Amino acid sequence: MILTLLACAMLAGLALIVYLSWSFSPRLTVAGAGLLSLLLAHGAWKIFRDPAKGRGHRGLAAATTAGFTLTAATAVFLLLYGAGCSCM
C-alpha cells in the first residue's frame, strides 16, 4: 500500500512537472524532452553494446548509463505499483 501511494505521488509529480513546463514554454518542453531522449538513448546504447577493448567508462558515458538505469528502474516501479493507482 505504501509503495502504491509512492507511485501515485510520483505520477502526480511527473504530471505537475510536465504541466508547469508546458505552460511556461512548449518549445523548451519539447526541446528538453528531445535532449533527455538523446541522453537516455546514449545510455542504453552504452549498456547494451559490446565494450570496446582497452577503454574504460568516461564521464558522459557513465552519467548517461546511470541516468538510463535510474529511468528504467523508475519505469518498472511505476508499471508494477502505479497500475493499482486509481488516478490513471
Given a cut of 80, whether residue 53 has pLDDT beyond it is no
pLDDT single digits (tens) 18-46: 999 999 999 999 999 999 999 999 889 88
Mean pLDDT of 59-70: 87
Domain carrying residue 23: 2-84
Give the Cα separation of 13 and 61 in Å (integer).
28
Model-level pTM greater than 0.85? Answer: no
| Nearest CA-CA partner of 56 in 43, 46, 69 | 46
The contacts of residue 46 (CB under 8 Å, 6+ apart) are 61, 64, 65, 68
Return the residue matching grid coordinates 493507482.
Answer: 85
Cβ neighbours of 39 (radius 10 Å): 16
Number of domains in the chain: 1
Please report the pLDDT score of residue 57 as a whole number.
Answer: 59
